[in-house]
């Protein structure tokens, strides 16, 4: 439908799962997608598959634990395109451990990828989005960002932090026409992470990430006068869009 025609989009975690589905959805809508992931080979295969369909997709292997790598990612996009229209922070990791089993390394890895990396990407794209006076930022959160779960110590901390970070950034960037939201899948979704955490019962009802990707496309179109500074349920939003005939 070309709703994102020529929009420049950065998607982290684009090699697998929700990130892959979002990158594909953006590209199908006409965007120029820069996919970032530490899984370099898988990322390049996914981006090449999009290019083979005549879509615009560039792989930028990025270790989100490394601040210099994040800076290089955004600098690459700005150097190529002179703008950034959409930032989707999808990448995330989890460990299921009791409090006393959670190591400092576990804590730092999860917080660095799930919270510090979104802070750094948002900070890096802010100047160009402010200059444009437009943009949309979406940070993938979770129910674990609004309620606690046993054995998800670092993960819950990272997602609660992401909610607070996003609420603050939303207010900071609102005067410049930039929408900022958190988004949660809202339904059991089949990802590498859920393969580690879901019970056999939940796996029977999980959905493919492509089923919630339309919500990300819709958020990419927002400004502060639309959906802004919200914790968005991707499944519910997609269902609303489908009921309105805006999703096939």
Domains (range + CATH), the chain: 8-243 (3.40.50.720)
- Collect contacts of 38-44 with beta carbons under 8 A, ≥24 apart: 38/62, 38/63, 38/64, 39/15, 42/15, 42/16, 43/14, 43/15
Residue 198 has pLDDT above 80, yes or no: no
pLDDT band, residue 203 (cuts 50/70/90): confident
Of the candidates 103, 79, 174, the one whose C-alpha atom is nearest the C-alpha of residue 133 is 174
Per-residue pLDDT of 53-98, as tens digits, reads: 999 999 999 999 999 999 999 999 999 999 999 999 999 999 999 9
Q: Which of 6, 34, 155, 198 is catalytic?
A: 155
Per-residue pLDDT of 9-41, as tens digits, reads: 999 999 999 999 999 999 999 999 999 999 999
Residue 205 has pLDDT above 80, yes or no: no
φ, ψ (nearest 5 deg) of residue 105: -65, -45
β-strands 135-140, 56-61 pairing: unpaired
**pTM of the shown model:** 0.96
Nearest 10 degrees: Cα torsion 189, 221, 56, 84 = -110
Per-residue pLDDT of 99-117, as tens digits, reads: 999 999 999 999 999 999 9
Segment 221-233 shows an average pLDDT of 98
Give me the pLDDT at residue 16, please. 96
Any catalytic annotation for residue 155? yes
Average pLDDT in the chain: 95
């Amino acid at each position: 439908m070309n709703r994102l025609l020529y929009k420049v989009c950065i998607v982290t975690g684009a090699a697998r799962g929700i990130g892959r589905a979002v990158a594909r959805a953006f590209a199908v809508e006409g965007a120029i997608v820069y996919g970032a992931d530490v899984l370099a080979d898988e990322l390049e295969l996914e981006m090449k598959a999009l290019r083979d369909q005549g879509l615009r997709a560039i792989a930028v292997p990025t270790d989100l634990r490394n601040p210099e790598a994040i800076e290089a990612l955004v600098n690459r996009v700005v150097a190529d395109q002179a703008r950034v229209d959409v930032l989707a922070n999808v990448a995330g990791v989890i460990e299921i451990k009791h409090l006393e089993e959670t190591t400092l390394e576990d804590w730092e890895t999860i917080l660095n990828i799930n919270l510090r990396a979104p802070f750094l990407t948002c900070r890096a794209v802010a100047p160009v989005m402010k200059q444009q006076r437009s943009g949309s930022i979406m940070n993938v959160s979770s129910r674990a960002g609004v309620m606690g779960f046993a054995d998800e110590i670092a993960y819950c901390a990272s997602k609660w932090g992401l909610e607070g970070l996003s609420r603050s950034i939303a207010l900071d960037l609102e005067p410049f026409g930039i929408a900022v939201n958190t988004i949660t899948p809202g339904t059991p979704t089949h990802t590498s992470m859920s393969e580690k955490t879901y019970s056999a019962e939940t796996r029977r009802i999980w959905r493919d990430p492509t089923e919630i990707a339309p919500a990300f496309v819709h958020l990419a179109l927002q400004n502060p006068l639309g959906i802004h500074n919200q914790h968005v349920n991707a499944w519910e939003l997609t269902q609303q869009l489908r009921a309105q005939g805006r999703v096939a």
